[in-house]
Structure 1
Amino acid sequence: MILPKGSEAIWIDLENQNGEQLLSLLTPYPAEEMKGEELGTGLI
């Protein structure tokens, strides 16, 4: 997934506050899939 420059801090902040629910709103992929493939290896 490609995020606009500068959005990483916002993404991490949302994930920390209410992870799966907000991730579901930010991405077309299921939160579980994102955590395993994207968040687990890249953004955080």
Structure 2
Amino acid sequence: MRTGQVRRINITLDEGVLKAIDWQARRLGLTRSAFIARSATEAVSD
């Protein structure tokens, strides 16, 4: 599934969801982008 290429995207999220993402990312020592990428990868993996 991974191509090795990184692409910048623009998404819209509920403010509460964004705050939860930021909190969890900080707790794990990740950037927001890294957290979203990790979470999405886990969600679409077989």
TM-score range, shorter chain: 0.3 to 0.5
Structure ranking higher in helix proportion: 1
Report the structure number with the largest CA radius of gyration.
2
Q: TM-score, normalised on structure 2?
A: 0.36
| Length-normalised TM-score, structure 1 | 0.37
